Amino acid sequence: MIWVNGVITDNLPMTDRGLLYGDGVWETIGIRRGTPQWLEWHIERLQWGLQTLGIASPHDALLRQEIATACAGQGRAVLKWIVTRGSGQRGYNPHTAAEPTRILQVSPWSEYPADYAFTGIRLALCETRLAHQPRLAGFKHLNRLEQVLARSEFGSDYQEGLVRDYHGNVIEGTMSNVFIVNADGTVSTPELSQCGIAGIMRRYIAQTLEKMGVECHIHTLTLQNVEQAHAIFMTNSLIGLWPVREFSGKSYNIPPLLRELQAALHTLS
């Protein structure tokens, strides 16, 4: 089911700048028992994107009401939420756009094999690199060709791919964030000021680690850091936490810490 500006439809006006320029932002939200999870954080990131792009935010009450409508009667489902700058005159000038377009789409829950979370995944190393563009880093905008190119590099032998920037530093997965467990028991995840998406699950994991008394450091991560890690795991709002069992020809264990994090997530679902 798809709503555009509150109306059920399958279509979008061809003149929408979301299509023409990728001029908008989006969120993918897990719905469990009819409730959108981490909604406040999703709203926060969406607003961050709108503000960065200079798109006037629709009223908060309207956004929340439409999300509630979309989630009503759903058990487990996926909510895709897009806000574009709307339709305007021809050309890049954003000031000609009349009003943002609000799009909500509810899809069936993505069922991944339980093995991915339990025995772990095989992680590919992508050749596609992320460009440094601090103006567009962190939030989730509609310019996602880098992710499409990176995702096209691997097939069903791998469940996710690791993506680096042009300096060779590790940034994220194609659709997830990456964490490593270091030999000293601390956890690291890449800083994302130049590129990458600051995932909602990344934030939750960092917060949970803090509550557990485990140090989580956000800093530059080299490929060597990842290869030499004690453990590697990938996160996003839908997959939760996938341990990596194989990367770059090497096998990785799944330490108790990862099971504890998964357990923390499980209590939410």
Query: Known catalytic residues?
Result: 28, 140, 172
Decide if residue 102 touches a second copy (CB under 8 A): no
Query: Which among 204, 176, 177, 175 has a CA at the least distance from the CA of 190?
Result: 177
CA neighbor of 105 nearest in space, from 20, 11, 201: 11
Distance in angstroms (rounded) separating the CA atoms of residues 188 and 185: 10
| Contact status: 4 vs a second copy (CB under 8 A) | yes
How many Å apart are CA 247 and CA 251, to the nearest integer?
7
Could you give the CA distance from residue 221 to residue 219 in angstroms, rounded to a whole number?
6
Which of 7, 72, 93, 263 is in the footprint of a second copy by CB under 8 A? 93
Phi, psi dihedrals of residue 91, rounded to the nearest 5°: 110, 165
Query: Which of 169, 176, 76, 188 lies closest to 121, judged by CA?
Result: 176
**Closest distance of CB 102 from a second copy, Å:** 12
Q: How many CB atoms lie within 10 A of CB 108?
A: 10
- Contacting a second copy within 114-133 (CB under 8 A): 128-129, 131-133
Binding a second copy by CB under 8 A: which of 50, 77, 123, 142? Answer: 142
Residues 204/239, Cβ–Cβ less than 8 Å: no
Contacts (CB under 8 A) with a second copy, residues 196-215: none
Which of 110, 224 has the CB closer to a second copy? Answer: 110
Shortest distance (Å) from residue 242 CB to a second copy? 15
Cβ 177 to a second copy shortest distance, Å: 15
Do 223 and 166 touch, CB atoms closer than 8 A?
Answer: no
Query: What residues between 175 and 194 interact with a second copy by CB under 8 A?
Result: 175
Q: Pick between residue 167 and residue 266 the one whose CB is nearest to a second copy.
A: 167
Pick one of 136, 214, 216, 265: the residue that binds a second copy (CB under 8 A).
136
Out of 59, 72, 95, 256, the only residue in the binding site for a second copy (CB under 8 A) is 95
Which of 260, 201, 225, 262 shows the shortest CA–CA distance to 42? 201
User: In the complex, which residues of this chain contact a second copy (CB under 8 A)?
Assistant: 2, 4, 9-23, 26, 53-54, 78, 80, 82, 85, 90-95, 103, 105, 107, 110, 128-129, 131-133, 135-136, 141-152, 155, 166, 174-175
